Amino acid sequence: MSPSKFQTNLQLNKRIISIVIFTFVCYLSIGLPLAVLPGFVHNGLGFNSVLAGLIISLQYFSTLVSRPHAGRYADQIGPKKVVIFGLACCGLSGLLYVLAYFSTAIPLLSLILLCIGRVLLGLGESFASTGSILWGIGATNPIHTGRVISWNGVATYGAMALGAPLGVLLNMHFGLLGVAVFILLIAALAIALASSKPAIVVATGKRLAFRAVLGKIWLHGLGLGFGTFGFGVIATFITLYYADKHWVGAAFTLSLFSVGFVGMRLIFGNMISRFGGLKVSLVSFVIEIVGLLLIWHGHDPITVQIGALLTGCGFSLIFPALGMEAVKQVPQQNQGTALGTYGAFLDLGLGLTGPIAGLIISRFGTPSIYLAAAGIVLLAIAVTLRMMSMQKSSSSSE
């Protein structure tokens, strides 16, 4: 790479990172209380473990429902305002955790406050993350859509990886109050930083109805949803898999998945704009399937760890690759709606992974879910091949 091209790439990445930092703050707010709230609900408030789990799940449901709306509002009022609103919701979730901490004498009130906080955090995730991607695209160039989404993903998973252990550390020294105050502070700083940045011009023109947008991007979302199962069964059930095998090292295996995920985005993120999202997705799905089959067939931890690394590598570029293709299907004034709706398929895929995998485990055992996930990712390949065929037909007819 020539020095001038390297400098151009460096400046472009700096510009993108200066915006996806808001996604980092959002997901740090999500990661911080993950390991803290279940214990607070169960041990501090005296509720059962089912309610403790539901407290966490409330956020995911809120994200699923609100993500398409986040994209639509970004189209209408601009991504900067949407990001600031999302960060404000993250900050408010921290404020409600503070109130819940001081309401432990009335356990039901404390639980209700936590529930409201989780719903607001789900709204914050939708608006801050979707808005950051659109802001990054608008601040650079639509040809860099794949790169913007890739860096947004690095911010997402980097923040989650940092948030959980940092939350445990804060909880050890200051309890839930320390976690909550930290969320309030980082949200306030991020809002101040976002407010000082220039907004981008909102595209004008007739906007497509939501149903029309969905009709143009549903195959991309379906491919994403199917591809998400591989990530879901590793993130949710790898510890159970290791327990069934009487092995140690499940956490290290999860770390290897993350290394593969982040490494691919950092090293090969530019492959999306170079070769096209559908081709990159196709290769990614194949790598993900190989990884899942290695885990399913793994007779020793090393094989499973290699499988997790490959699955992380395979899953890494799927969201930005198909996302770039999805937003190309609609005019600029509808790209937010398209991206938000497309992202909802990821939430839906993760939401369905748990119950589907649970049913499979109850009948066929834990290893079988990795074979089943490979089969589901195979469906994603079929969807991608269908889109490639449609793209080829459309090009030949023009």
pLDDT value of residue 227? 95
For CA atoms 331, 333, 338, 339, the dihedral sign is positive
Q: How far apart are CA 106 and CA 344, in angstroms?
A: 36
- Reported as a single tens digit per residue, the pLDDT across 113-172 is 999 999 999 999 999 999 999 899 888 877 788 888 888 888 988 888 788 788 888 988
> For 191-217, what is the mean pLDDT?
85
Looking at residue 203, what is its pLDDT?
67
Q: List the structure tokens of 348.
A: 């839906």
Using the structure block, give the residue that is written with the tokens 């404000």.
88
Give the residue-averaged pLDDT of 264-281: 88
C-beta separation of 315 from 263 below 8 A: no
Give me the pLDDT at residue 266, please. 83
Domains of the chain: 8-197 (1.20.1250.20), 208-392 (1.20.1250.20)
Report the pLDDT value the prediction gives residue 2, as an integer from 0 to 100.
62
Task: Report the pLDDT value the prediction gives residue 258, as an integer from 0 to 100.
Answer: 84
Reply yes or no on whether the pLDDT at 196 is more than 80: yes
Report the length, in residues, of the chain.
Answer: 398
Supply the pLDDT for residue 267.
87
CB-based contact 133:148 (threshold 8 Å): yes
- Side-chain-side CA neighbours of 191 within 13 Å: the count stands at 17
Assess contact for 148 and 136: CB atoms under 8 A: yes
DSSP per position, 178-193:
HHHHHHHHHHHHHHHH
Q: How far is CA 220 from the centre of its chain?
A: 16
Rounded Cα gap, residues 278 and 325, in angstroms:
7
pTM of the model: 0.81
Q: At what angle do helices 318-327 and 145-196 cross, to 10 degrees?
A: 90
- For Cα atoms 67, 125, 315, give the angle at the middle one, nearest 5 degrees: 80
Residue 205's pLDDT band (boundaries 50, 70, 90)? low
Mean pLDDT of the chain: 88
Closest CA relative to residue 68, chosen from 218, 212, 228, 210: 210
Which spans in the chain are helix H? 3-31, 37-39, 49-77, 79-101, 107-139, 145-196, 210-245, 250-268, 271-275, 277-297, 301-316, 318-327, 335-364, 368-397
Question: Rounded to an integer, what distance in angstroms lies between the CA atom of residue 349 and that of residue 392?
Answer: 28
Sign of CA dihedral 241, 247, 251, 255: negative
Cβ atoms of 75 and 205 within 8 Å: the answer is no
Type of residue at 91: G
Report residue 378 as tokens: 């195979």
Note the pLDDT of residue 43.
Answer: 83
Residue 52 has pLDDT above 80, yes or no: no
Q: Give 364's contacts (C-beta < 8 A, 6+ positions apart).
A: none
More confident: 203 or 137: 137
Residue 269 above 80 pLDDT?
no
pLDDT at 279: 95
Give backbone dihedrals phi and psi of 308, rounded to 5 degrees, phi first: -65, -40
